[in-house]
Structure 1
Amino acid sequence: MKIFARISWLFATIVIFSSLTLMIVLYYLVPRPYSRKISAWIIRLTTFFSVDIKGKEDPKAQMFLLNHQSDLDIAIMETITKKDLTWVAKKELFAIPFFGLALRLPEDIAVERESKTSLLKLLKDAKNRLDKDRIITMFPEGTRSSKGKMLPFKSGAKMVADKFKLHVQPIVLIQTAKYYNVKEFYYKPGRIKVIYMDSFVADRSDKDWLNDLRVKMQKVYDDELANNTSNR
């Protein structure tokens, strides 16, 4: 079974990289965001995962905040919304050959967490993308957490949301690492659950809303696992 899972992982990884290559080519041929949407749908269809959605996307949402477990997470999000997403990612990812180009071309936002200058640039870049009617999309944990417990949320999400009083919609992805885990060389097709939570308007006077949101998202995650054995 492990050999089969690793062969499947290799196949899925080849699909992902091939789709990224296609996205880079299509970027010069079709309007944004279609190059990324097409690439994401190819990943979703050829790796045979489907999505079960609970709740509804808020048409007023200006920021999506998601938990992060797997490299599938971006493809999932790109296929369940028609909106033009701008992803916020670590600056070092933009420097990686090939992968960095797939981030730079669609004008995703690079952030260097420990740099005050970078955080100011984050605000400037976020304003630029919002003016273009793009949706700021972030993994507030800052990295993958595949053990079912969300990591502490980074402050950048709150800083951007508070500054521009954004309509924020949290989204919980259920056990995506169960289907594709790059660290364990594991992949299997399956049905992935996505839960849209209620949106809210960021309030800078509430200093704890981001930490409180993590608790709420974790509860939604835990409740889904407790009440739906197929997701375990």
Structure 2
Amino acid sequence: MKILAHISWAYATFIIFTGLTFSIILYPILPRPYARKAVAWFIRLTTFFSTTVKGKEDPDAQMFLVNHQSDLDIGILETVTNKDITWVAKKSLFDVPFFGLAMSMPEDIEVERESKTSLIKLLRAAKDRLKKKRVITMFPEGTRSKGSKMLPFKSGAKVIADQYKLKVQPIVLVETAKCYDLKRFYYVPRNIKVVFLDSFVADKNDPDWLNRLRQKMQKVYDDELADNTRNR
């Protein structure tokens, strides 16, 4: 089984990098967001994962906050929403050859942690994307979590949401690392559960809303995990 998962990983990784190549070619040709959506669906259909969506996407949402376990998470979300997403990611990813180009061409937003100058640039970039009716999308953990427990949420999401009083919709992805794990050379096609939680308007007068949100998302994740276990 492990050998098959490793072979599947090599195939899935090849497909993902092929998709990134296609996206770079398509960005100048297709209007945003069709290039990225087309590539996300290409990856989904050729690697044979599927999704089950719970809850309803808010058509007025201005920010998505999503937990993060796998390199497949971006592709998963791009195939379950038609919205024009702009991803916020650490600056070092934009410096990676090839991958950085696939992020900069669709005008994703880079952020350099612990930099006041970067924070100003982040807010300006977020304002620009919001004017273009794009949805600011972030992994508030800042990196992939290694297990079922979400990492503490970084403050960047709250800074943006508070500054522009955004309507925020949390999204919980369940066990995506058990589908694709780049570091363990592991891929098994699965049905991924995507849970849209109720949206809310950020309130800068509430200093603890981000921490409470993490607790709420963790509970939803745990409940879905327990439900998955009962139904096996």
| TM-score of the superposed pair, with normalisation by structure 1 | 0.98
CA apart distance, 1:228 = 2.5
Correspondence 1:224 to 2:224: yes
2: CA distance between counterparts of 1:165 and 1:72? 30
Structure 1 unaligned segments of length 5 or more: list them: none
1:13 corresponds in structure 2 to 13
How large is the Cα RMSD of the aligned pairs? 1.0
Question: 2:133 is paired with a residue of what secondary structure?
Answer: coil
2:45 corresponds in structure 1 to 45
CA apart distance, 1:230 = 6.9
**1:77-226 alignment runs, 5 A limit:** 77-226=77-226
2: CA distance between counterparts of 1:141 and 1:149? 11
Q: Which amino acid aligns with 1:182?
A: L
Indicate conservation of the 8 Å contact 1:70/1:146, yes or no.
no
Question: 1:117 is paired with a residue of what secondary structure?
Answer: helix
CA apart distance, 1:125 = 0.2
Post-superposition Cα deviations, 1:66-98, rounded to whole Å, max 9, x if no partner, equal 000001100011011111000000001001000
Change (3 A) 1:204 1:231: farther
Indicate conservation of the 8 Å contact 1:89/1:138, yes or no.
yes
2: CA distance between counterparts of 1:231 and 1:100? 40
Correspondence 1:74 to 2:107: no
2: CA distance between counterparts of 1:86 and 1:114? 21
2: CA distance between counterparts of 1:122 and 1:219? 30
Indicate conservation of the 8 Å contact 1:174/1:231, yes or no.
no
Structure 2 unaligned segments of length 5 or more: list them: none
Q: Which amino acid aligns with 1:24?
A: I
1: CA distance between counterparts of 2:83 and 2:39? 15
Q: Which amino acid aligns with 1:17?
A: F
Indicate conservation of the 8 Å contact 1:172/1:195, yes or no.
yes
- Which runs of 4 or more aligned residues in structure 1 lie more than 3 Å from their structure 2 counterparts after TM superposition? none
Q: Which amino acid aligns with 1:192?
A: I
Equivalent residues, number: 232
| TM-score of the superposed pair, with normalisation by structure 2 | 0.98
2: CA distance between counterparts of 1:218 and 1:177? 16
Post-superposition Cα deviations, 1:151-180, rounded to whole Å, max 9, x if no partner, equal 000000000000000000000000000000
CA apart distance, 1:47 = 0.4
Question: 1:5 is paired with a residue of what secondary structure?
Answer: helix
2: CA distance between counterparts of 1:116 and 1:137? 21
1: CA distance between counterparts of 2:207 and 2:164? 15
1: CA distance between counterparts of 2:62 and 2:2? 42
